[in-house]
Amino acid sequence: MTRDLLSQVTVLVLAVVIGFELISRVPSLLHTPLMSATNAIHGIVLVGAMIVVIGPDDPLTEVLGFIAVVFGAINVVGGFIVTNRMLDMFRTRPQPRGKRK
Amino acid sequence: MQTLTTVAYLAAAILFIAGIRRLRSPATARSGNTVAAVGMLVAVVATLFDADVLSLAKIGAGIALGSVIGAVTARRVPMTSMPQFVAAFNGVGGGAAALIAFAEFYRLFLEGGEGGFVVLFTIFLSMLIGSVSFAGSIVAFGKLEEIFLSGSISFPGQKALNALVALVSLGAAGNAIVGGPAPLASAVVALVGALLLGVLFVIPIGGADMPIVISLLNAFTGLAAAASGFVLTNSVLIISGALVGASGSILTYKMSSALGRPLQKILFGAVGAAAAEKEGDGEEKPVTSGSAEDVGALLNYDADSVIFVPGYGLAVAQAQTAMAELMRLLESKGKTVKFAIHPVAGRMPGHMNVLLAEADVPAEKLLDLEDVNPDFADTDAVVIVGANDVVNPSAREDGGSPISGMPILDVDNAKRVVFVKRSLSPGFAGIDNPLFYDQDKTMMLFSDAKTGLEGVIAAVKNS
């Protein structure tokens, strides 16, 4: 248990360091898409919700787990699609203007 | 099987990191999002291998339902409403973390077993942070959609109430963690308290600061996810949650410093400021109001250099195409036209750049606050469309103003200022703009952004 915990804490600390490092120099233009993408990534709670549903059955946990799965899936799918739509807007940028009129 | 799942989780974590990395540059950002999405798929599929047939059916149904809701909403949202939908998606993520924690707590309670300090501690961490994020995001969503609780809401004793609710919620959680009496009731009290706290935390914050709050709540949900990773001893949850928690915090800090609004001021400053702003209102002050023809004549004959300031109203009215057309028309008459983009124009950093790129405005014409501010003094006319707070001189001059200290576009240095605005109503931060009442300098064109700009285009063509 303690060794398990220790390795989990190690993983946590390393992930925090990487998270800090990743956002060192980002143009403000990308702040919103970046926020939206990390928003989709914490949709990983979906995996947690699935584990709850897979675990031992009792009516309340089942219901809570199911709702959590729905919520998690909304977070993941909605998050990635919204980010993609935002980034789609940047694609028109390098094109010469006047093409679409 | 266990090994395979672990390896898949590791792969997912690496894909998330690579994805975020690619999101740092506009050229690779789209692929970054896809890489992260693939990572998510890997993690979900790997988890499915642990499921028996019955749970597989339930999970399948839940994922299908959630995906349909998420996909349909995300596709239908107009670009202008993006911020609030990011808030909404964030909120359900926080809600999921809270539900997972509560379900695990209930399971432990039924088994009557001791969860141990670490498990109980992380259960409550996940439950409380997730609930705050859930309730706070819902309020942020409501504010930005202007369905409920819009503007800054404050009342006497707010800080005391917040402290009391926090204390009760934490006390109940503490009781359950150390194995005190009535654990289930304590958990419910802690949960409800945290939800209430989420609401109380966001209601006093004005709309202009909402992007930063959403970013902060995003980091919260990341932390909640990491905490639920400890509850379920699941590495991919810990890694991804910590990644989002850390990157989200830095992003929040960067956003708030780009706006010159220290976090502390946003989160705790609104309560006092809102009360001060209410005085001095109620009197009708005169303004110079003009028609589209007046504005057209001004631009045609009195202005060689023009700067456009697009704001949220432009985005709402979908008037970016009209603005681009007016730009081309004025340029064809030999005038110079630039765009001044405030860091939060359109409520989110980068939002306005996206909309104007859509209307084929060349990127080099979009100037940042620092680059454009020195230019206003040499500019004949500034046309502000659907913006108010970002050009409000009281941010610079009035220390008691709720937006005091926020960097603004110094449009008042230009010779003439035109506001295209539906009414004199104050902006999103809920404060009046003294520039409206400078009758020698300012002309108000009371109109919806699109109709107004189209009127001005016609007037410039005809005059």
Residue B281 falls inside a structural domain: no
Domain of residue B54 covers 1-76
The CATH number given to whatever domain includes residue B379 is 3.40.50.1220
Closest residue of chain A to B216, computed from CA coordinates: A35
Reported as a single tens digit per residue, the pLDDT across B339-366 is 998 877 766 667 787 778 778 888 788 8
pLDDT score, position B279 = 40
Q: Is residue B283 part of a domain?
A: no
Amino acid letter at B89?
F
A71/B215 touch (CB, cutoff 8 Å), yes or no: no
Give a yes or no: residue B253 inside a domain. yes
Question: Would you call B389 a catalytic residue per the annotation?
Answer: yes
Each residue of A27-76: pLDDT tens digit?
777 888 888 999 999 999 999 999 999 988 788 999 999 999 999 999 99
Q: pLDDT band for position A1 (50/70/90)?
A: low
Residue matched to tokens 């006093």: B204
Q: How many CB atoms lie within 10 A of CB B178?
A: 11
Taking only residues 160 to 199 of chain B, the set having a beta carbon closer than 8 angstroms to any beta carbon of chain A reads: none
Residues B230 and B331 in one domain: no
Q: Does B285 reside within a domain?
A: no
Domain limit, last residue, from B76, B101, B128? B76
Establish if B381 belongs to a structural domain.
Answer: yes
**Does B84 fall in a domain?**
no
Give, as one character, the DSSP assignment of residue B23. T
Cα torsion angle, B387, B393, B399, B401, sign: negative
- Write down which residue in B17, B50, B76 finishes a domain: B76
Q: Which of B89, B123, B129, B370 has the most A C-beta neighbours within 10 Å, making it the best mutation to test the interface with A?
A: B89
Does residue B187 sit in the same domain as residue B54? no
Q: What residues contact residue A65 under an 8 Å CB cut-off, 6+ apart?
A: A49, A52, A53, A55, B58, B99, B100, B103
pLDDT of residue B347: 63
Nearest beta carbon to residue A43 from set B40, B110, B258: B40
Question: Same structural domain for residues B19 and B100?
Answer: no
Question: What's the ipTM?
Answer: 0.89
Residue corresponding to tokens 């740092």? B24
Record: contact A32-B350, CB cut-off 8 A = yes
Please tell me the distance from the alpha carbon of residue A6 to that of residue B434, in angstroms, as a whole number: 59
Q: Which residues contact B344 (CB under 8 A, 6 or more apart)?
A: B208, B211, B259, B351, B390
Taking the domains of chain A in order of start, what are their residue ranges? 27-91
Is the same domain home to B96 and B171? yes
pLDDT at A7 exceeding the cut of 60: yes
Note the pLDDT of residue B303. 86
Domain end marker among B50, B76, B102: B76
pLDDT score of A52 = 93
pLDDT of residue B132: 96
Contacts of A86 in chain B (CB under 8 A): 79, 82, 354
B110 contacts in A (CB within 8 Å)? 58
Residues in chain B, pLDDT under 50: 271-282
CA distance B358 to B384: 19
> B336 and B455: one domain?
yes
Nearest-CA distance from B221 to chain A in Å?
A: 7
pLDDT of residue A45: 96
For residues B225 and B328, membership in a common domain is answered with no
Backbone region of residue B339 per phi and psi (left: phi > 0; alpha: psi in -120 to 50; beta: other values) = beta
Indicate whether B140 and B64 sit together in one domain: no
B320 at A interface, C-beta within 8 A: no
Position A101 pLDDT exceeds 70: no
A16 neighbourhood in chain B, CB within 8 Å: 242-243, 245-246
Residues B70, B110: one domain?
no
Q: Is residue B85 included in any domain, yes or no? A: no
Is there a single domain that holds both residue B236 and residue B307? no
**The one catalytic residue among B209, B389, B410, B432:** B389
SS3 B337: strand
Total of domains in chain B = 3
Q: Is B364 exposed, middle or buried (0-12, 13-18, 19+ CB in 10 A)?
A: exposed
Interface membership of B53 toward A (CB under 8 Å): no
B398 plus B433 within the same structural domain:
yes
For the whole model, what pTM was predicted? 0.78
Do B155 and B267 share a structural domain? yes
